[in-house]
Amino acid sequence: ETGVTQSPTHLIKTRGQQVTLRCSSQSGHNTVSWYQQALGQGPQFIFQYYREEENGRGNFPPRFSGLQFPNYSSELNVNALELDDSALYLCASSLVGGAWDGANVLTFGAGSRLTVL
Amino acid sequence: AQTVTQSQPEMSVQEAETVTLSCTYDTSENNYYLFWYKQPPSRQMILVIRQEAYKQQNATENRFSVNFQKAAKSFSLKISDSQLGDTAMYFCAFMKHRGAQKLVFGQGTRLTINP
C-alpha cells in the first residue's frame, strides 16, 4: 500500500503571497488532517477533512483553508503569508468508520517545509 | 482544552541502555487515546505505540512499552535495549475518543543514542 505523499517538499515564498500544498492520502483512507510544525515545536492541528467537508478546526485564522477531493487527496491553501507561517506542514490520513484497532490511526507524510521571507 | 507536557527537551543514552521519556497531560475527558510518535530527520511522524485510556493494561510493542497512570495523567515511554536507529524526536500526543481526530502534541524530547 502507498503511504501519504506531500508536495512540494520545500518552497520559499515572500510575505503577502499565497501558497498551495498538496497531499495524497494513503490508499484506503478517507480522512485527511493538516498540522503546522514550527521549528523546535510539536505539530499543531490546523483542520481535518472528511467526505470533502471540514470536520474540525484548530486555532488558525481563515486565511488557512483547505479542500478534499473525491479521491481523498487534499490541498492546504494559505493566503497573505506572514513570516510566522514559516514551518513544516504535515498531512496525515486515516480511515474513519472502520474498527479502531489500527484502522483509524493517523499515517503522516514527510511534510512540506515552507519558508516565508 | 487538552494540554500535553514533555518536561525533558533532550536526553542521551548509550546504545543497549534503557531510557524512559516522560509525558503528562491534562484533560477532563474520561475516554481518550494516547500516543508516542517518533520523528527522525526524515521528518515523517512514525507511530511508536498507542494506549486506549479505558484499558488498564499498559501497551507494549517489542522494545517499546508505556507506563500509563490515568489518575496521575502520566504516560511515559520506556525504550529497552536502545539502538542507534532510535535517535529521533519523540512526541507524546493525546486524542479525544469522539469528534475530529485531532492530535494534541507535546513539545517533544530529542533522544540521542550514542554508540
Q: Contact A106/B101, CB-based, under 8 Å?
A: yes
Q: Which tens digits make up the pLDDT trace of A75-108? A: 999 999 999 999 999 999 988 765 444 436 899 9
Torsion angle, CA of A71/A76/A79/A84, rounded to 10 degrees? Answer: 180
- Tell me the torsion sign for CA atoms A106, B3, A58, A90: negative
Of A42, A106, A109, the CB nearest to B107: A42
Residues in chain A with pLDDT values less than 50: 99-103
Q: Contact B99/A105, CB-based, under 8 Å?
A: no
CA B50/CA A69 separation, integer angstroms: 30
Judge contact between B2 and B29, C-beta under 8 A: yes
Does residue A39 sit at the B interface (CB-CB below 8 Å)? no
CB contacts of A94 in chain B (<8 Å) are: 101
Q: Which tens digits make up the pLDDT trace of B83-106? A: 999 999 999 999 988 777 889 999
